[in-house]
Amino acid sequence: DGVADDSADPNQHLYGNFNQLLKLKAAHPNLRVVMSLGGWTGSKYFSDVAATAASRQAFVASCVDLLLKGNLPSDPATIWPPSAGGPGAAAGVFDGIDIDWEYPGIDPGNGADHSPADVHNATLLLQEFRKQIDAYGATTGKHYLLTADLPAGNVNSSGSWEMADVSR
Active site residues: 102
CA distance 132 to 84: 27
CA distance 134 to 54: 19
Count CB neighbours of 148 within 10 A: 18
